């Protein structure tokens, strides 16, 4: 049997990382933050003065880096866990994520990661339910009001969150959209535990049927 997948997509600040992390802990599964991968590649480009608009150079970078997300986010052996959340990266990451050549490299790595996990993986991002794992056991689309998402993002601010949402939903390559068969959950005013419980109920129904 192939490893099980819970795939979670949604806009910035919708609660994907917190919910995915808690779900993985509750199930004893692995967790994959795919946004951290796009952020790490972006940071590496900025550090080496590679133009993030240069599609070929960015694809080459995405192909040759070594990348981990757990236990810490590292790129070419350097711990970048904190640096990938800076404004500099927030501004440039949507350009990198819109590059189809970079996406091909990231998707390949994400599938390889999940295939190597013994029990299952909770994967979160923007194209997980639609492109990376369209046959996931459970597909979830998280939403929340812009006000609440901006509040959760704190320093980044509502304008930057809204700009990234716009870039992520309107880009040509794998735009953020709800999969037809995704469980759509509005997390506004809901606790992480509450959302996790609902997803686990859904998983039970899917795996019993």
Per CB under 6 A, the list member of 80, 97, 114, 182 interacting with ligand CDP is: 97
Q: Segment contacting ligand CDP (CB under 6 A): 32-40, 68-76, 183-191, 195-203?
A: 32-40
Per CB under 6 A, the list member of 58, 141, 168, 179 interacting with ligand CDP is: 168
**Please, which of residues 104-133 interact with ligand CDP by CB under 6 A?**
125-128
Q: Rounded to an integer, what distance in angstroms lies between the CA atom of residue 50 and that of residue 118?
A: 37
Backbone torsions φ then ψ of 140, nearest 5 degrees = -130, 140
Minimum distance from residue 30 beta carbon to ligand CDP (Å): 16
Please identify which residue in the block is written with the tokens 């993002």. Answer: 153
Which residues have a Cβ under 8 Å from the Cβ of 133 and sit 6 or more positions away?
Answer: 5, 7, 111, 114, 123
Nearer to ligand CDP, 17 or 74 (CB): 17
Minimum distance from residue 168 beta carbon to ligand CDP (Å): 5
Determine the size of the site formed for ligand CDP (CB under 6 A): 15
Q: Rounded to an integer, what distance in angstroms lies between the CA atom of residue 127 and that of residue 106?
A: 11
Which residues, in sequence order, are bridge partners of residue 125? 9
Q: Segment contacting ligand CDP (CB under 6 A): 22-30, 35-43, 51-59, 187-195?
A: 35-43
Report how far apart, in Å, the C-alpha atoms of 43 and of each of 107, 148, 154 are: 18, 27, 21
Q: What residue number has its CB nearest to ligand CDP?
A: 35
Question: How far is the first Cα of the chain from the last one, in angstroms, to the nearest whole number?
Answer: 16
Q: What are the residues binding ligand CDP (CB under 6 A)? A: 12, 17, 34-35, 38-39, 93-94, 97, 125-128, 164, 168
């Amino acid at each position: 049997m192939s490893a099980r997948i819970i795939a979670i997509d949604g806009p910035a600040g919708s609660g994907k990382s917190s919910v995915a992390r808690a779900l993985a802990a509750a199930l004893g599964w692995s967790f994959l933050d795919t946004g951290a991968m796009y952020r790490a590649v972006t940071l590496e480009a900025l550090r080496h003065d590679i133009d993030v608009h240069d599609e070929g150079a960015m694809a080459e970078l995405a192909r040759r880096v070594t990348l981990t997300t757990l236990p810490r986010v590292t790129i070419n052996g350097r711990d970048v866990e904190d640096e990938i959340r800076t404004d500099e990266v927030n501004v440039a990451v949507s350009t990198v994520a819109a590059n189809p050549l970079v996406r091909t490299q990231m998707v390949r790595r994400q599938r390889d990661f999940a295939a190597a996990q013994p029990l299952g993986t909770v994967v979160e991002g923007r194209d997980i339910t639609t492109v990376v794992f369209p046959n996931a056991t459970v597909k979830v689309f998280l939403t929340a009001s812009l006000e609440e998402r901006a509040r959760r993002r704190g320093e980044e601010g509502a304008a930057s969150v809204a700009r990234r949402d716009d870039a992520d939903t309107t880009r040509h390559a794998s735009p953020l959209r709800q999969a037809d068969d995704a469980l759509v959950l509005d997390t506004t005013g809901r606790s992480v535990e509450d959302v996790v419980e609902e997803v686990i109920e859904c998983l039970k129904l899917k795996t019993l049927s």
